[in-house]
Chains A and B, each alone.
Chain A
Amino acid sequence: MAGMRCGVNIGGETETAKPVEPSSQSARRRRMEIHQFRFVASDVAVAPSQVENGRKRQKVEVVGPASPSRMCDNAVDQNSKEDDLDESKVAGNKEMKCLQSAGPANSVSSSSSTSTVEQAAAGLPAEAPKFGMTSVCGRRRDMEDAVAIHPCFSQGNSATPSNLHFYGVYDGHGCSHVATKCKERMHEIVKDELENGDCSWREMLTRSFSRMDKEISDWCSAVGVSTSPCRCELRTPQCDAVGSTAVVAVVTPDKIIVSNCGDSRAVLCRNGSAIPLSVDHKPDRPDELERIQEAGGRVIYWDGARVLGVLAMSRAIGDNYLKPYVISEPEVTIIDRSGEDECLILATDGLWDVVSNDTACGVARMCLQSGKPPSPVRSPGSDATLNSAGESSDKACSDASILLTKLALARHSTDNVSVVVVDLRRDL
């Protein structure tokens, strides 16, 4: 219960971020099976960021329930003045408005002026954030993933007006309706909490997840109202056994706030390194195991560690029948954005079970780099396919999400695969 150990390794030492790797036996087995496919991205594309290690101390907060809360306004730039001069300038000196921001990665630093001109010339609305999203059924017979992307979903509250973007990935289990509900409602709830409350990110997101969870159980108990065509047909016993993971990222001009429940994952790609922004909630994670046992629950190993031998994750939205062992309380990570940030990857375990954080970052990075405006390799005939030059930057993110999805399928992922890639670069 004492939150999680702040075990997230920042600053390039991603290989030590063990807790995030899928730890179930089946996942391990699957990884062994794919050895014949030798991925070389990490050698080629992911430069070790020793410099970064030595030079900088990035601040990351993984806030557990017992951690001190931080006020939203306090959270802005308190400890990051040295690291993020550009951003604090943006946040502090210029009034950030949606229109002024050229995507989530906007920067008012001088290096960005050229690309701003290019984007303007291409008719790109200045506020359009760059992202790519792929979500496929894959080798499953049921699609239970859902993805929600809402650029400029909120302007923040009056205390900290800024332009905020929402990215959510949900992986349902039992049926798809909880994930679908999360997709429909979560961003609205977060927006409501954000604009009408004056509390820390952690409190705000924890309350949002709790409201989301309550909406689900209220909705389920009102059986018959909905004529949702889902598999479980909303019959009460089955309906109680339905849930979803939720990994939500709110991107502000100077911060990334990730709120996670379950085994979907957010990973930041910074200067070639993979920085996990969430730690999977697996029943055999020591602190989660302890929490479950203290609540009177048991973790049974049945095709991997499962709460009561049923659910292979220790936190989720929904899953009424597994409460209080499975909780909907998220873990919240707040990290200051840096000029070295390249992209944010949110994905379900359909990707993470077969592709490591480092590999994913390597692939995404390559796509973003090869998608730079003066594209190094692009066949003459394909120019026509870029309907507007403005989409070419989005195209890099789409390329990344598609490529990661194809890699997951090629590595025999047997699950639905959903990937979101958000471009965080400021120097385009």
Chain B
Amino acid sequence: MHTISMATGNGNHEAQQTEENFEQFYETWKKQQNQHLQELITASEQVSSPTPPTEGITACSSSSPPPPTDGITATNLNNLVKRVVEHYEEYYKTKSEWADKNILQILSPPWTSSLEDAFLWIGGWRPTMAIHLLYSKSSLQFESKFNDWMQGKLTKHDLGDLTESQISLIDELQKNTIIEEKEITGKMAKQQEKAAGADMVELSHLVSEALREEEKGTKARDHEAEQSQAESSLSPKEKGFKKILEKADNLRLRTLKSIIDALSATQAVHFLIAAAELHLRLHEWGKARDEGQLSGGAGHPIFRQEA
């Protein structure tokens, strides 16, 4: 598993062709993400070069963060971040391939929990959520840093150190992401309205008529013709969904990469940790809730470890 995650995108891609469906790929990917999480945690612990108090907390120009000194080199850190981002790229590449085969399943993934489904936006996470994730993690690290700083302690370089230029980059990114997100939401609305387009209404009526005539015994149904008519009405709609999913996934990946680009390697490590932790735990909690619901509702063991 480790070797897979270390491999290049191409190498992985070949490996995935052996997966029988996207769900299997997702399960493998999730395990790899968990391994990356461990690596990221280790790396964040090794980066221990403290930033001077005022510099760390108030640095606002585009000063490059202090290079990590102890334990891990800047190159290693950059490589790790690169590798984890490539892992996300690989996810969306494979997802796109499976979307070609079964867009409906990808839009309503059976492998996610009801909890995750509630947060779903066009077959995945809402792009602006990534910015909120950054703000939240940054806020938490800022809090503890702030207290340390007030007590004159040195603090580690992390997301609490967002500089003026970083904040304006993120703010700009947020505005653009919201605009794109709204555009895609609008496209999705149009697409969903097509469910009740004239072609669909006509076809559903014709088939219902045929059904009634068959029940009366006046006329036999032509199942094949119905099938092909339904197919010709539905298949362009599936293509439409596929296009929208592509746009949504593209925005998700671009948002993620833009955030990483705006951050120092050390900060990126902290962001990727937060992203992986949130994804993995949300999935786990959701699964536990679903299982709890199935086995009679109350008292579901939310924090139960997965077997």
Residues of chain A at the chain B interface (Cβ within 8 Å): 37-41, 44, 134, 136-139, 141, 143, 367, 370-371, 375-379, 381-382, 385-387, 395, 398-400, 402-403, 405-407, 409-412
Q: Which of A143, A379, A395 contacts B51 (CB 8 A)?
A: A379
CB of B205 closer than 8 Å to a CB of A: no
By a CB distance below 8 angstroms, the chain A residues around B168 are 136
CB of B175 closer than 8 Å to a CB of A: yes
Instruction: Name which of B140-148, B209-217, B259-267 contacts chain A.
Output: B140-148
Contact A379 B52 (CB under 8 A): yes
**Complexed CA–CA distance, A346 and B246 (Å):** 44
Contact A370 B58 (CB under 8 A): yes
Q: Which of A381, A385, A403, A409 contacts B135 (CB 8 A)?
A: A409
**Complexed CA–CA distance, A245 and B151 (Å):** 37
Closest chain B CB from A154 CB (angstroms): 29
**Complexed CA–CA distance, A39 and B143 (Å):** 9
By a CB distance below 8 angstroms, the chain A residues around B163 are 402
CB of B207 closer than 8 Å to a CB of A: no
**Complexed CA–CA distance, A376 and B53 (Å):** 11
Given contacts A143-B175, A402-B163, A402-B167, contact A378 B54 (CB under 8 A): yes
Contact A402 B171 (CB under 8 A): no
Interface set, chain B 161-180, CB cutoff 8 A to A: 162-164, 167-168, 171, 174-175, 178
Q: Which of B54, B60, B66, B162 contacts A370 (CB 8 A)?
A: B54
From A375, which residue of chain B is reached at the shortest CB distance? B54
By a CB distance below 8 angstroms, the chain A residues around B142 are 406-407, 409-410
CB of B132 closer than 8 Å to a CB of A: yes
Given contacts A378-B54, A386-B61, contact A38 B132 (CB under 8 A): no
Interface set, chain B 65-122, CB cutoff 8 A to A: 66
Given contacts A44-B150, A134-B164, A410-B142, contact A402 B55 (CB under 8 A): no
By a CB distance below 8 angstroms, the chain B residues around A395 are 60-61
Closest chain A CB from B6 CB (angstroms): 33
The 5 A-B pairs of least Cβ separation, nearest first, read A399-B58, A410-B139, A385-B61, A385-B63, A136-B171
**Complexed CA–CA distance, A37 and B160 (Å):** 14
Q: Which of B57, B58, B138, B164 contacts A409 (CB 8 A)?
A: B138
Residues of chain B at the chain A interface (Cβ within 8 Å): 51-55, 57-64, 66, 128, 132, 135, 138-140, 142-143, 146-147, 150-151, 160, 162-164, 167-168, 171, 174-175, 178
By a CB distance below 8 angstroms, the chain B residues around A143 are 175
By a CB distance below 8 angstroms, the chain A residues around B175 are 137, 143
Closest chain A CB from B266 CB (angstroms): 15
From B150, which residue of chain A is reached at the shortest CB distance? A40
Closest chain A CB from B155 CB (angstroms): 12
**Complexed CA–CA distance, A134 and B162 (Å):** 13
Chain B interface mostly: helix
By a CB distance below 8 angstroms, the chain B residues around A399 are 58-60
Closest chain A CB from B241 CB (angstroms): 25
Contact A398 B164 (CB under 8 A): yes
Q: Which of B55, B146, B171 contacts A378 (CB 8 A)?
A: B55
Given contacts A382-B63, A385-B63, A402-B60, contact A407 B52 (CB under 8 A): no
By a CB distance below 8 angstroms, the chain B residues around A139 are 132, 135
Given contacts A402-B58, A412-B139, contact A378 B162 (CB under 8 A): no
Q: Which of A137, A367, A386 contacts B174 (CB 8 A)?
A: A137
Given contacts A137-B175, A381-B63, A382-B63, contact A403 B58 (CB under 8 A): yes
By a CB distance below 8 angstroms, the chain A residues around B174 are 137
Contact B61 A403 (CB under 8 A): no
Closest chain A CB from B149 CB (angstroms): 9
Closest chain B CB from A69 CB (angstroms): 41
**Complexed CA–CA distance, A328 and B138 (Å):** 38
**Complexed CA–CA distance, A402 and B151 (Å):** 20
Contact B162 A406 (CB under 8 A): yes
By a CB distance below 8 angstroms, the chain B residues around A376 are 54
By a CB distance below 8 angstroms, the chain B residues around A409 are 135, 138-139, 142
By a CB distance below 8 angstroms, the chain B residues around A38 are 147
Give me 15 other A-B pairs in contact (C-beta within 8 A), A382-B59, A406-B160 excluded.
A37-B143, A40-B151, A44-B150, A134-B164, A137-B178, A378-B54, A395-B61, A402-B60, A402-B167, A403-B57, A403-B58, A407-B146, A410-B140, A410-B146, A411-B139
Contact A141 B178 (CB under 8 A): yes
Closest chain B CB from A122 CB (angstroms): 16
What would be 22 A-B contacts, judged by CB atoms less than 8 Å apart? A38-B147, A136-B168, A137-B171, A141-B178, A371-B58, A377-B52, A378-B52, A381-B63, A387-B61, A398-B164, A402-B58, A402-B60, A402-B163, A402-B164, A403-B58, A406-B139, A406-B167, A409-B138, A409-B139, A409-B142, A410-B138, A410-B139
**Complexed CA–CA distance, A44 and B143 (Å):** 16
**Complexed CA–CA distance, A405 and B64 (Å):** 21
Q: Determine which residue in B52, B162, B171 has the highest number of CB atoms from chain A within 10 A of its CB, and name it.
A: B171
Contact A381 B66 (CB under 8 A): yes
**Complexed CA–CA distance, A370 and B57 (Å):** 11
Q: Which of A138, A367, A410, A411 contacts B58 (CB 8 A)?
A: A367
Contact A136 B167 (CB under 8 A): yes
Closest chain B CB from A258 CB (angstroms): 26
